Amino acid sequence: MRLSEMLLSEDEQIKSRRVFLALWPDENVRQQLVNALRLMPQSALQGVVFRPENLHLTLHFIGRITQQSFDCVHRVASEIQLPAFDLNLNRYDFFERAGVFWIGPDIIPQALIQLHNDLGQALINCGYKAQSRQFTPHVTLMRKLKQPVNMPAKLSESVNWRINQFALLESIAGKGGVAYIPRALYPLA
């Protein structure tokens, strides 16, 4: 069954999972990301700060899927074999329409593009169709943000992230908000 063809019934939605593939930072990188937000003048930022434990860089948002599709995504992700690489997050930016303030790379490493593309191709086997818009790798720091004022384009200190794995994450809604739970980690050589 193709993911794009799935219209889940109420019973299936209860049994389904909301998932995505992402780069999942270790505690050192996570702290660097938190510090990058703290370096911004608070008067320039009015919005909702992304919870530090949820910080990530989305590779592919898959959405709500059944267990069978989840198993397929896990299988194809585990077959990806690419080398580890370095990612330098060194600029702030803002998605105005979405109200998202983020940090990302000034130069996108070819290895990150390759990982994104290879995953997109592999996910076709699970019925997934990648988004047609251009891949803009970023880590969301704030959401529901109004236009930031006096936002510097570059960070004073880059966040240097060694990418040696990616993750299959599940989004779980709870009383305290949404939590992103790693369900599988896939090593890069």
Domains of the chain by start residue, with CATH: 3-187 (3.90.1140.10)
Read off the pLDDT of each residue in 161-189 and give the average, rounded to a whole number: 96
Is a pLDDT exceeding 60 seen at residue 4?
A: no
* pLDDT tens, residue by residue, 115-172: 999 999 999 999 998 888 899 999 999 998 876 666 667 888 899 999 999 999 999 9
CB 183 within 8 A of CB 19: yes
CA 163 to chain CA centroid, nearest Å = 13
**Strand residues in the chain grouped as ranges (E):** 17-23, 48-49, 57-65, 85-95, 100-105, 139-143, 154-163, 165-174, 177-187
Query: 38-95: per-residue pLDDT in tens?
Result: 877 665 677 888 999 999 999 999 999 999 999 999 999 999 999 999 999 999 988 9
Is residue 6 scored above 60 in pLDDT? no
Identify the pLDDT of residue 3. Answer: 40
The predicted structure's pLDDT at residue 15? 65
CA-to-CA dists, residue 174 to 3, 65, 178, angstroms: 25, 19, 6
Greater confidence (155 vs 29) lies with 29
Return the pLDDT at 149.
63
Give pLDDT, residue 27. Answer: 97
Tokens of 11: 């019973």
If pLDDT is split at 50, 70 and 90, which confidence band does 108 have? very high
pLDDT band at 5 (very low <50, low <70, confident <90, very high): very low
Tokens representing residue 6 in the block: 């799935």
